A and B are shown apart, each in its own frame.
Chain A
């Protein structure tokens, strides 16, 4: 089966993904060699967010439908993998009342990840059947409903998910090197999807639904495909989160994380993979700076006041300014390879 309609699409996708991978790997390597130990953790968290943003981009960027349920799918990925991989003796302690024998088995990390991807992907497919039938705001509402429902289940089936308490004892499987490799793989997947025949048709339908319909685009099927693929990437991000942190709870998979990652995608420009990557990098570094200011530091002998909430204000301001000034984000439709290969004059 043909994935790309033209070899030009393939070349763009390939070189674009390669260049982004290079940047991503470079940042990772710089931190590995020059960073302090705690930087590794900050950067790992940033890579997890990058995966989330890419997963979000695959659906939002190609369909222009706002998704607010992404953190829920990340959470599902994290929990399912965690339940499978955590050793039995720890589960006896942490999940004494787990139903269906969940605390009586343990699997290796790879099988756990595969099970998590399969189940989350299946759930994404099922919810996708509903989402793709709705348009615009209606679809967004249902994504909010999904977020609330999943969070509610995490919170109240404490026998399985522990709610706000810690689900602990997940073995540490990944390190920074692993997530760099995974990030690169996902960049390729997302970029290839964008330039693939499905991606091009989907983007056409996001520009003009009626016209795409009249041009033979099966919008339902393609949206469902993008939604499910996005769900799989989000599940992967959750697995990466759990496999490094060792302890998870329902708390991180809710509105504040939704807005953080959404701001990352919007800032860079949701229609482009380059935008997704740039947005993640800018917000990650920017927030570190803002957080430093928040606590009232002394800079050049000058004592700044404590300004709690500054990071939230900054995040909100990023969203508003981008929406008002530059709807397509910083880069719009631009992809990184266009700096080098002059295939298009200006997009």
Chain B
């Protein structure tokens, strides 16, 4: 019984790590420019497709494939910012959200048109996955890698934001974008960095997703991003700690629902998860860890 509890807790942790990783990518962009980037899922998919391409042209070295996939995701994220999101940079959040939905739709269908509507096997990341025995518990190395990678990513991100000039500028930008511009830091550079980081996180997520699924298809990123988006919202819009918290909370919630709900209601898992999300939002409309805005007299 203890084994079971430990096992499911570990599962919840690794589910949460994946959501947190993706949610962080969404949150960093949102915090800087208020954009809910639904096309983040397709950035993940680009990571997957680039692995497919690299495997097909006989790159066998896993390091090359990993670096290449992350690189592809970063380039894609920066490219999307330049092409689609820069024109709506100062528009309201709804315009940004709908633009992102549109971009997501275009990319999904481009994958379908240019590659295939069916899943394509990509097995080059299987090597990351082997069983590990911890006493009586067996877990997958992938779960550990994923949790560790997420924690590492968070740590590096915190260091970057606290120590580097660009990072400090980004933190300032998330509080008051105009001020940063007035200080002479180019908005383009700050935003491009935010997208590059989100692409980097998407690339890492892509590696773990592919390592587990062993296949890539056009809608690969849609569901994870929908969940991560929810995680972001629950944690608090644009709050990076909130995104991480929301991700792990959602992971726990999902595994918890599978464990708690009777099997005949297992299929309703999503309904329950989303109902909890709605309740949290009604309780705290800005999310759990939302940055509290100082209300001045300039209304």
Do A and B touch, yes or no (CB under 8 Å, in the complex)? yes
Binding site for B on A (CB under 8 A): 64-66, 130, 133-138, 140-142, 144-146, 148-149, 152-153, 155-156, 210, 259, 262-263, 266, 307-313, 315-320, 323-325, 327
In the complex formed, the residue of B with least CB distance to A321 is B102
Asked if A142 meets B109 with Cβ closer than 8 Å, knowing A320-B102, A324-B88, the reply is no
Are B112 and A312 closer than 8 Å at their CB atoms? yes
Within the complex, what minimum Cβ distance (angstroms) separates A279 from chain B? 13
Rounded to whole Å, the gap between the CB of A246 and the closest CB of chain B is 27
CA distance A259 to B97 in the complex (A): 12
Q: A327 near B95 (CB under 8 angstroms)? A: yes
- Going nearest first, the 7 A-B pairs with the smallest beta carbon separation are A319-B102, A316-B105, A312-B109, A316-B106, A152-B271, A309-B109, A156-B267
Cβ–Cβ contact A138 & B233, under 8 A? yes
**Cβ B233 vs Cβ A262 within 8 A:** no
Given A66-B97, A137-B237, A323-B88, also A313-B281 (CB < 8 A):
no
> When the two chains form their complex, are residues B113 and A313 in contact, meaning their CB atoms are under 8 A apart?
yes
Stretch binding the partner chain, chosen from B175-183, B209-217, B272-280: B272-280
Max chain B C-beta neighbours (<10 A), residue from A135, A309, A310, A312 = A309
B94 near A140 (CB under 8 angstroms)? yes
B70, chain A: closest CB distance, angstroms: 25
Can you list 5 A-B pairs, Cβ within 8 angstroms, ordered by A? A266-B98, A308-B113, A316-B103, A316-B104, A327-B95
B299 touches A (CB below 8 Å): yes
CA distance A148 to B254 in the complex (A): 14
Give every chain B residue within 8 A of A319 (Cβ-Cβ).
Answer: 98-99, 101-102, 105
Q: How far, in angstroms, from A316 to B39 measured CA to CA in the complex?
A: 11
- Grouping DSSP codes into helix (H, G, I), strand (E, B) and loop, the A interface class, with mixed when no group exceeds half, is helix
A152, B105: Cβ atoms under 8 Å? no
Asked if B252 is at the interface (CB within 8 A of a chain A CB), the reply is no
What number of B residues sit within 8 Å (CB to CB) of A? Answer: 47
Interface residue SS majority, chain B: helix
Contact bitstring B99-134, A, C-beta under 8 A = 1, else 0: 101111111111111000100000000000000000
Q: Is the CB of B105 within 8 A of A135?
A: no
Complex contacts, A262 vs chain B, CB 8 Å: 98, 101
Nearest CB of chain B from residue A25's CB, rounded to whole Å: 31
The reply to whether A152 and B108 contact each other, CB–CB distance below 8 Å, is: no
- Chain B residues with CB under 8 Å of A315's CB are 102, 105
Check A155 against B267 for contact (C-beta < 8 Å): yes
Q: Using Cβ atoms and an 8 Å threshold, which residues of chain A touch B91?
A: 323, 327
**Contacts A138-B286, A312-B106 given; 18 further ones with Cβ under 8 A?**
A66-B97, A134-B282, A138-B287, A140-B94, A141-B233, A141-B281, A144-B274, A152-B267, A155-B267, A156-B268, A309-B111, A312-B112, A316-B105, A316-B109, A319-B98, A320-B84, A320-B102, A324-B87
Contact between A137 and B97, CB atoms less than 8 A apart:
yes
| Residues of the B chain whose Cβ atoms lie less than 8 Å from the Cβ of A134 | 281-282, 285
Q: Which residues of B contact A307 (CB under 8 A)?
A: 113
Contacts of B265 in A (CB 8 A): 156
Closest-by-CB residue of A relative to B233 is A141
* B61 CB → nearest A CB, Å: 32
The residue of chain A having its C-beta at the shortest distance from the C-beta of B113 within the complex is A309
**A130 to B84 alpha-carbon distance, docked (Å):** 33
Q: Is the CB of A138 within 8 A of B285?
A: yes
